[in-house]
A and B are shown apart, each in its own frame.
Chain A
Amino acid sequence: MSLAAILQQLATGMLATISIFVLTLFFSMPLGLLVAFGRMAKFKPLQYLMKFYISIMRGTPLMLQLMVVYYGPYYIFHIKLPAGYQFTATIIGFAINYAAYFAEIYRSGIQSIPVGQYEAAKVLGYSKVQTFGKIIFPQMVKRVLPSVTNEVITLVKDTSLAFVLAYAEMFTLAKQIAASQTSIVPLFIAGLFYYIFNLIVAGVMGYIEKRLDYYK
């Protein structure tokens, strides 16, 4: 098999990996904010529920979580799921797992904002929603950016875990081709792909961080 043929086969996998990556961030970043709110809620049952959720998501392997999301509906409820469920299950699994990590990052960011910011906003007449949206959230974003970058970089590599659901993303394909061709080349290409992907991620996040450098 020529290099061009391998690349061509891997290309669809690359697209699949990129879509897992994009969709996971799209769902987990806002979901993480909701979880963080719940985690910080004064209403104790909600707070404990979110604490429990976060501890499960962080305390068990992502690979296992993906399998539960995929096989659970059938084994537990005997629900027959459509053929395309692999992809949906992958996104659900990744999104709920990453939301837990983002929630804790957001929480640390929100709680690091000095109480004086809330007090100043209150005295100036800002409502609670306005205070969060205009004063707290923008400052939180700046503070959590380095930790978020770490998570995002981990996510690029974690997308390869979708192979447990035999979803045809980059890594699954590379493994298959490597086995059928008895060649290490597909794995090297996969590695190079993840590496370049992460270089871009780090570059973009670095750029955003710089853009927010105008204040301390």
Chain B
Amino acid sequence: MKLLEINNLKKSFDNLDVLHDISLSVEEGQVVAIIGPSGSGKSTLLRCATMLETMDSGELTYVGESAVTNNEAGKAVYADSKQLKKIQGYFGLVFQNFNLFPHYSVMKNITDAPIHIQKRDKKEVYAQARELLKKMGLEDKEDYYPCQLSGGQQQRVAIARALALNPSILFFDEPTSALDPELTGEILKVIRQLAEEKMTMVIVTHEMTFARDVADHVIFMDGGYIIEEGNPKDVIEHPKEERTRQFLARFAAK
């Protein structure tokens, strides 16, 4: 089943075309990694998919429901707010800078939205939150505040916060870029574990080894285009396109 489908997405900022005609789809249980140099448009793609940016043109569909369609003039038309609110519930997003709420404890960060937005039972939400914290190796941190945690711990809380809303698909926007190598490992381990549990994920990352090992599908972007995509082994180890080779060579040299 297709959980996410993006067709012919176009986006520009002040006449600068950031995304040209991007199409991609994500199947249930699939892990998609998006790689590419800075400014290639991969974060913008993620932000358009999560509706933090509005797309200029194209179609966006979650679980068969339309969030954005094209009108006759080829301009993007967003669904009504009720529909968008429903679709918002299909996905979660983990940010590069965590964006935890500093004035809420770890527990409240995770439980506030399920209780007050999804109107779920408090007891059930707390039980789920404790389970998630245990999974993240943070079972003793529920009363802590974000400022008392390391970056890696904060990011794991952010992942738990996103998962607590039971999204069908989880996006990661460079989840380890703000972390040092040691803490990066913590986060990659958690994402790997989620992949094993068949969580559907789209991950923008600079971790090539991780992308190769965990993703089912790799997309290489540059200059607002998808240059190459496919099986991670093919794309990362035997890239066909010259541009992909150049990009990956820089990583290999490090």
Contacts and interface: CB of A to CB of B under 8 A. Distances in A.
Interface of A: 114, 116-117, 119-126, 130, 134-135, 138-139, 142, 214-216
Interface string B84-107: 010011011101010111110000
A117 B145 contact: no
Contact of B103 (A116, A119, A120, A139): A139
A119 B145 contact: no
A174 to B, nearest CB: 44
Contacts of B93: 123
B102 A216 contact: yes
A120 B162 CA distance: 10
Contact of B113 (A119, A126, A139, A215): A126
B99 A120 contact: yes
A97 B31 CA distance: 58
B138 to A, nearest CB: 17
Nearest to A124: B113
Contacts of B165: 124-125
B161 interface: yes
A131 to B, nearest CB: 10
Given A120-B101, A123-B88, A142-B103, A215 B145 contact: yes
Nearest to A216: B147
B1 interface: no
Contact of B52 (A119, A125, A215): A119
A9 B54 CA distance: 67
Contacts of B146: 215
B123 interface: no
B50 interface: yes
B117 A126 contact: yes
Given A114-B97, A120-B95, A135-B101, 19 more contacts: A116-B97, A117-B101, A119-B52, A119-B95, A120-B100, A120-B101, A122-B52, A123-B91, A124-B117, A124-B162, A125-B88, A125-B89, A125-B118, A126-B113, A126-B117, A134-B112, A142-B103, A214-B145, A215-B147
A152 to B, nearest CB: 22
B116 interface: yes
A214 B105 CA distance: 10
B116 A215 contact: no
Contacts, number: 55
Q: DSSP majority for the A interface?
A: helix
Among B97, B100, B103, B161, the one with the most A-chain Cβ atoms within 10 Å of its Cβ is B103
29 contacts: A116-B97, A116-B99, A117-B99, A117-B101, A119-B52, A120-B99, A120-B101, A121-B101, A122-B51, A123-B50, A123-B52, A123-B88, A123-B162, A124-B117, A124-B162, A125-B89, A125-B113, A125-B117, A125-B118, A125-B165, A130-B116, A130-B117, A134-B112, A134-B116, A214-B145, A215-B102, A215-B103, A215-B145, A216-B147
Q: DSSP majority for the B interface?
A: loop
Interface residues of B, number: 27
Given A116-B97, A130-B116, A215-B147, A124 B103 contact: no
Among A124, A125, A214, the one with the most B-chain Cβ atoms within 10 Å of its Cβ is A124
Nearest to B147: A216
Contacts of A215: 102-103, 145-147
A215 B101 CA distance: 10
A116 B97 CA distance: 8
Contacts of A114: 97, 99
B173 to A, nearest CB: 10
Nearest to A212: B103
B129 to A, nearest CB: 14
A175 to B, nearest CB: 46
A164 B201 CA distance: 69
A138 B99 CA distance: 16
Contact of A139 (B51, B91, B92, B102): B102
A214 B144 CA distance: 10
A77 to B, nearest CB: 46
B52 A124 contact: no
A55 B240 CA distance: 63
Contacts of B117: 124-126, 130
Contacts of B88: 123, 125
Given A125-B88, A215-B102, A116 B95 contact: yes
